[in-house]
Amino acid sequence: GLNSPLRIQNIKNNLARFPEPIGLQITESGLVFTDAPETPREETQTEKAMGLLESLLSDGAKPSAEIKKEFEGAGISWNTVTTAKKKLFITAKKGAVGWYWQLPESRVGK
């Protein structure tokens, strides 16, 4: 909208050092220069995997084969999933028909 802060940043310069970025807001009374807002940051694949794992396991343990299918469909590599698993302290337990993954008790249902 009109009041959303904008970030103005020099992206090419052959003659001098890059100046610091500045902020700009367009208001009804004109332009207002401010400190630059934070640089937008995209979510990493590991962060996406962590969010999906928390969602999948929020209501209890799930078979690892089912989890693997979900992530294949989402285009996230299995190495990334295992990194996310470690960061979330997810445990794997052998069941009657394969391995099951489970969030720590403190995170189940959140």
Q: How far apart are CA 20 and CA 8, in angstroms?
A: 9
With 0-12 / 13-18 / 19 or more C-beta atoms within 10 angstroms meaning exposed / middle / buried, residue 103 is: buried
Over pLDDT 90: what percentage of the chain? 51
Tell me the DSSP string of 78-93: HHHHHHHHHHTT-EEE
> What rounded mean pLDDT belongs to the chain?
88
Using CA of residue 13, residue 15, residue 18, residue 24, what is the dihedral sign?
negative
pLDDT digits over 24-58, tens only?
Answer: 888 888 888 888 888 778 889 999 999 999 999 99
Domain boundaries, the chain: 1-39, 45-107
In the numeric block, which tokens belong to residue 68? 């693997």
Can you give the pLDDT at residue 2?
59
- In CATH terms, the fold of domain 45-107 is Arc Repressor Mutant, subunit A (1.10.10)
Q: Is the pLDDT of residue 67 over 90?
A: yes
Which residues neighbour 77 within 8 Å (Cβ) at sequence distance 6 or greater? Answer: 45, 71
CB 23 within 8 A of CB 37: yes
Confidence of residue 15 (pLDDT cuts 50, 70, 90): confident
